[in-house]
Structure 1
């Protein structure tokens, strides 16, 4: 063996002996030397992380083991072999801002795991946004029936919805992707005793919103209900609808809206005319996704 080769062998054994005694930086230097055949430049205390993502503060050695579970074994000629195994380095990194219905949230990364911290306010559910009192249905005139998607063909000569009529009203230009509404329902020109039910999604409820007790009555009642979606018999699909089912007797029906339940004020487009579609930005998309949660379809089944 040449003198230079003998010197290198002695130097390598010396490094391994120091690693067994001192650990830390010597282990790091030995691990990098064994793999790269060059002396490591790691500072004292700089760890060797096995199977981890490269970081500016950590020398990393990886292999093809599943889930990065690499293990590096260093032979020790004068004692037990040294085993360098993957270690969990606890480090917190704050970043990754993402949109929520309330505004903005932050993603926290710690020990290789990601957690989302979301701003929690009432906007994560719905908020009430008052609007100018707006008439959306009046069966007594053709203009008052302009928002009807269903039921327009069941209005008699006196402008009354006949018994068993299912009215579906579209709140276009008032709300986009809303969750509910507050308003007032009025019946007039009643034929005989009967009642009506206002609802926004799902099957017809077994409850009444307004009741009348004889012919020729004019009555009103407050309404709080969900908004839903509806597909016509022709296959046309509409969001933001409310339904009224007239039962037992004919009556003219008037519906006014005074407030909206929304996930963001911008959904109340009557107050702030903007088009909230999927192509209008991240905020609009989040509003739409949250508005479409759950079963929103209005069903006419009795």
Structure 2
């Protein structure tokens, strides 16, 4: 069972900006009253995007047969046109072959400003913490926003860990869709890198890159999953990066924990403030 780093307080009370997963249920709208049918109604048109009747709501009785001369220009032909207009084709992104995402942003005159977890509130970050993992200070992670590590498992040579880094992107103008195509390069530059999976699919509605694979560091084989997210909050853009790494020899044993982090990680906009309570 996994715990979750929640709200603004991580383990030890140092790191803020990490939030628990929240879900909101929307109550279905009540069915509107149906007007009486005229003696000879026109053909009913099924519009694109209209949901069928909910269970328990009786269907209207079938209309009386319509004379052939009344069946003029059926309107059902408009439904497919509405569907096509509502589903624009998504552009296909092609991975860049050179230049890391930081190098691309620097070339556009963008400055990366590290964010302090104690004061950051522009985005809502969810970083699950598996059982046996704890928050740790790690001077080896420049500009670390949050670092958690497995303090129970491991082989004694390498500690499985997850790292989050967040930068505000100040100055310069750039196309987020173009910038994110450079998200694979930093991983591909690692020693003896071998890709096992990669995607440029959006993440929570934001441009994102995800690449997974293996590489070597200090004569040790490591398995890693790395995601970059270009998130917007108000007028500001942010680069949010997550890396989850374990040794190749411990990849199977640590799979439940690392997959929980990778699959449970979320980046969303700030939660709106609750409206003030009304006086009784």
Structure with more relative contact order (C-alpha pairs < 8 Å, separation 6 or more): 2
Return the TM-score normalized by structure 1.
0.27
Return the TM-score normalized by structure 2.
0.29
